Amino acid sequence: MVAEFLYRIYERRLQAGLRDAPLPRHVGVILDGNRRFARARRLDTVAEGHRLGATKIPALLRWCDEVEIPFVTLWLLSTENLNRDADEIHDLVNIIAETITGLALQPPARGLKITAVGALDTLPDSLRKALKKAEEHTRESNGLHVQVAVGYGGRQEITDALRGLLEERAADGCTLEEVIADLRPEHISAHLYTTGTPDPDLIIRTSGEIRLSGFLMWQSAHSEFYFCDPYWPEFRKTDFLRALREFASRTRRFGQ
């Protein structure tokens, strides 16, 4: 009881310290550690870890909303994840579909706008349909824009962007030599899954791993990174606020 009281005081102090601080417009989150959490806590299945992790997502979005962060990208499923045990993938796909559907059906006051990014054609039909319905249901929202990265891999995204660019130029009658001579970074950016969304200012990864694993490879060129130890199901508001405090303390030079 006393520990909880002290935690709340610390949380409020952290949040008060951010009142006039520069905060990110776009936060990317690698929700890592659900499986290890399940094993460390000796849960019956890793699916329980994924389900507990899913219950943390609405809280994270609420925290972002409280400090008026307008864009959030959540990495829920990578292309590599799709190669896991069939039973685990079946459970995970269902959990993601249920979670996204639940977010989309929140009251209008919540104002979420949901879009899916990734190689969506590689996903099971049930998940692809759930993502499409969520996008349609929240299309007119002007609130917090939540990108869910599902079936996402950074290398695949860049490969698909280059393929899309070449197909577009070929349809315009351009030769390969003309494409090469005119090629600029913004041409590739225009064909990424995340086109139309600002690049992330801050990327958070949970579970103690210190790597991006291909998350938003192109978009994160000038992002700040924050790595923390808690597994995703254990991630607390204080962890989130510490990430924002760390971001506010850094001087961003954007390579200059």
224, part of any domain? yes
Q: What is the pLDDT of residue 256?
A: 63
Give the span between the Cα atoms of 193 and 184, in whole angstroms. Answer: 18
Give domain status of residue 242, yes or no: yes
Q: Which residue of the set 20, 34, 65, 81 is catalytic?
A: 81
Supply the CATH number for residue 141's domain: 3.40.1180.10
| Domain annotation covers residue 29 | yes
Q: Please check whether residue 230 lies inside any domain of the structure.
A: yes
Q: Is residue 2 part of a domain?
A: no
Can you list the residues of the chain whose pLDDT is less than 70?
A: 107-110, 255-256
pLDDT digits (tens, 9 = 90+) for 215-239: 999 999 999 999 999 999 999 999 9
Supply the pTM of this predicted model: 0.94
DSSP one-letter string for 9-63: HHHHHHHHHTTTS---SEEEEE---HHHHHHHTT-S-HHHHHHHHHHHHHHHHHH
* Model pLDDT, residue 252: 76
- The number of distinct structural domains making up the chain is 1
pLDDT at 86: 87
Q: Which domain holds residue 123?
A: 23-153+200-248
Characterize 100-121 residue by residue with b for buried, 16 or more Cβ atoms within 10 angstroms of its Cβ, and e for exposed: beebbebeeebebbbbbbbbee
* Tens digits of residue pLDDT in 107-155: 544 589 999 999 999 999 999 999 999 999 999 998 999 999 999 999 9
Other residues' Cβ atoms within 10 Å of the Cβ of residue 242: 15
> Which is the catalytic residue, given 32, 34, 199, 201?
32
In a domain, 94, yes or no: yes
pLDDT value, residue 8: 86
In whole angstroms, what is the distance from residue 72 CA to residue 197 CA?
10
- Residue 181 in any domain: the answer is no
Encoded tokens for 112: 């979420």
120 assigned to some structural domain: yes
State the pLDDT at residue 65. Answer: 93
Annotated catalytic, 32? yes
